[in-house]
Amino acid sequence: MRKWFVHDGDGREIYLTEERWEHIQVRHGELKNHLDDVLNTVQRGKRRQQPQDPQAFIYRLRCDTLRPPFNGILVVVVFRFESQENNGNMIPNNFIVRAWGITMRQ
Protein backbone atom coordinates (compact mmCIF):
# COMPACT_ATOMS: atom_id res chain seq x y z
CA MET A 1 0.00 0.00 0.00
CA ARG A 2 1.46 3.33 -1.07
CA LYS A 3 1.91 6.32 1.23
CA TRP A 4 2.65 9.91 0.31
CA PHE A 5 4.74 11.94 2.74
CA VAL A 6 4.78 15.73 3.04
CA HIS A 7 5.99 18.29 5.57
CA ASP A 8 3.75 21.06 6.81
CA GLY A 9 4.85 24.67 7.12
CA ASP A 10 6.58 23.96 10.45
CA GLY A 11 8.38 20.85 9.20
CA ARG A 12 6.16 18.15 10.70
CA GLU A 13 6.09 14.96 8.62
CA ILE A 14 2.57 13.88 7.69
CA TYR A 15 1.47 11.02 5.47
CA LEU A 16 -1.56 9.99 3.46
CA THR A 17 -2.23 6.31 2.81
CA GLU A 18 -3.48 5.07 -0.54
CA GLU A 19 -6.47 3.52 1.23
CA ARG A 20 -7.53 6.87 2.68
CA TRP A 21 -6.90 8.66 -0.60
CA GLU A 22 -9.16 6.17 -2.42
CA HIS A 23 -11.86 6.74 0.20
CA ILE A 24 -11.56 10.52 -0.15
CA GLN A 25 -11.88 10.33 -3.95
CA VAL A 26 -14.90 8.03 -3.81
CA ARG A 27 -16.73 10.06 -1.19
CA HIS A 28 -15.64 13.54 -2.17
CA GLY A 29 -15.55 13.47 -5.94
CA GLU A 30 -14.66 17.15 -6.17
CA LEU A 31 -11.13 16.13 -5.10
CA LYS A 32 -10.71 13.33 -7.64
CA ASN A 33 -7.36 13.77 -9.41
CA HIS A 34 -6.44 16.59 -7.00
CA LEU A 35 -3.93 14.65 -4.89
CA ASP A 36 -1.27 17.32 -5.36
CA ASP A 37 -3.68 20.03 -4.23
CA VAL A 38 -4.61 18.05 -1.10
CA LEU A 39 -0.95 17.54 -0.20
CA ASN A 40 -0.24 21.19 -1.01
CA THR A 41 -2.95 22.19 1.47
CA VAL A 42 -0.97 20.46 4.22
CA GLN A 43 2.30 22.00 3.04
CA ARG A 44 1.08 25.56 2.63
CA GLY A 45 -2.32 25.80 4.28
CA LYS A 46 -3.36 27.68 7.38
CA ARG A 47 -3.27 25.33 10.39
CA ARG A 48 -5.85 25.33 13.16
CA GLN A 49 -6.03 23.11 16.23
CA GLN A 50 -9.40 21.55 16.91
CA PRO A 51 -10.73 23.10 20.12
CA GLN A 52 -12.08 19.81 21.46
CA ASP A 53 -9.15 17.61 20.41
CA PRO A 54 -5.58 18.88 20.84
CA GLN A 55 -4.25 16.05 18.63
CA ALA A 56 -6.37 16.99 15.62
CA PHE A 57 -5.63 19.86 13.25
CA ILE A 58 -7.36 21.39 10.24
CA TYR A 59 -5.33 22.62 7.28
CA ARG A 60 -7.18 24.94 4.95
CA LEU A 61 -6.12 26.54 1.68
CA ARG A 62 -7.76 28.29 -1.22
CA CYS A 63 -7.70 26.20 -4.40
CA ASP A 64 -8.92 27.69 -7.67
CA THR A 65 -8.42 24.55 -9.77
CA LEU A 66 -11.45 22.74 -8.27
CA ARG A 67 -14.72 22.78 -10.15
CA PRO A 68 -16.93 25.67 -9.00
CA PRO A 69 -18.43 26.44 -6.57
CA PHE A 70 -15.63 24.65 -4.70
CA ASN A 71 -12.74 27.03 -4.14
CA GLY A 72 -10.89 25.62 -1.14
CA ILE A 73 -9.62 22.42 0.43
CA LEU A 74 -9.91 21.41 4.07
CA VAL A 75 -7.77 18.55 5.40
CA VAL A 76 -7.98 16.87 8.80
CA VAL A 77 -4.69 15.60 10.21
CA VAL A 78 -4.29 13.73 13.49
CA PHE A 79 -1.03 13.77 15.40
CA ARG A 80 -0.57 10.48 17.24
CA PHE A 81 2.27 8.31 18.50
CA GLU A 82 3.00 4.63 17.97
CA SER A 83 5.58 2.37 19.56
CA GLN A 84 8.43 0.97 17.48
CA GLU A 85 8.35 -2.82 17.25
CA ASN A 86 12.06 -3.36 18.00
CA ASN A 87 12.54 -1.15 21.05
CA GLY A 88 9.15 0.15 22.14
CA ASN A 89 10.16 3.78 21.65
CA MET A 90 7.31 6.12 20.84
CA ILE A 91 7.51 7.79 17.43
CA PRO A 92 5.18 10.32 15.75
CA ASN A 93 2.36 8.93 13.61
CA ASN A 94 0.85 11.94 11.87
CA PHE A 95 -1.63 11.14 9.13
CA ILE A 96 -4.32 12.68 6.95
CA VAL A 97 -7.73 11.38 7.96
CA ARG A 98 -10.03 13.06 5.49
CA ALA A 99 -10.20 15.95 3.02
CA TRP A 100 -13.07 17.95 1.56
CA GLY A 101 -13.51 20.49 -1.18
CA ILE A 102 -15.32 23.45 0.34
CA THR A 103 -16.90 26.71 -0.72
CA MET A 104 -15.26 29.66 1.04
CA ARG A 105 -15.99 33.36 1.01
CA GLN A 106 -13.81 35.12 -1.61
Partner 1 sequence: MNLEKRKLELSTGKTAWYEYDRDGDVLEIIFRLDEATGAVELTESIILRFDWASNEPLSLSFISFSRLLQANPYGEVHFQLLMEQWPDEVRAKIWPMLQRTPLSDFLKLSGYAPAHTHQIIPMATIKQPYLMPQAA
Binding mask 16-55 for partner 1 (x = CB under 8 A): ---xx--x---xxxx-----------------x-xxxx--
Binding mask 48-87 for partner 1 (x = CB under 8 A): x-xxxx--x-x----------xx---x-x-x---------
CA dihedral 48, 52, 55, 61 (to 10 degrees): -20
Least distance between partner 1 and beta carbon 69 (Å): 6
CA-to-CA separations, 27 to 15, 20, 30, 102, in angstroms, rounded = 19, 10, 9, 14
